[in-house]
Amino acid sequence: MSLDDLADDVEARYADLGDDLTVSLDRETRNELAMLSAALEPDDEDELVRRAVHMLFQSAVETGNLDFHLRSAYECTYDEYLTGMTFDEMTGADQFPQAQQKDDRRYQF
């Protein structure tokens, strides 16, 4: 898979999510949500869920967990996704012959 595949998958999943999302809660999650709701007093519990998604995303980015999974599945990182080009494309490394490639022109004058 590639950077283009990732962009296509993100767009498709974004469209599939829509504006509303119904989530079933297990007992532990329901208890934790109730505790957070009592302590933080949000306007509604949806706000806490939105915050939780933001925090999970930020944590995944900062720890490198997101990059690990993206590299495993799509052979790119989150930074590459944001820029729309791979690291090799950014640095120009994909424009020059690599050491493992046979380059007969190397010693020609």
pLDDT at 90: 75
pTM: 0.73
Contact 3, 86 (CB under 8 A): yes
Q: What is the pLDDT along the chain (109 residues), one digit of tens a residue?
A: 888 999 999 999 998 888 888 889 999 999 999 999 999 999 988 999 999 999 999 999 999 999 999 999 999 999 999 999 887 777 776 666 556 656 556 555 4
Angstrom distance (rounded) from CA 31 to CA 44: 16
Contact 76, 5 (CB under 8 A): no
pLDDT at 37: 94
pLDDT at 28: 96
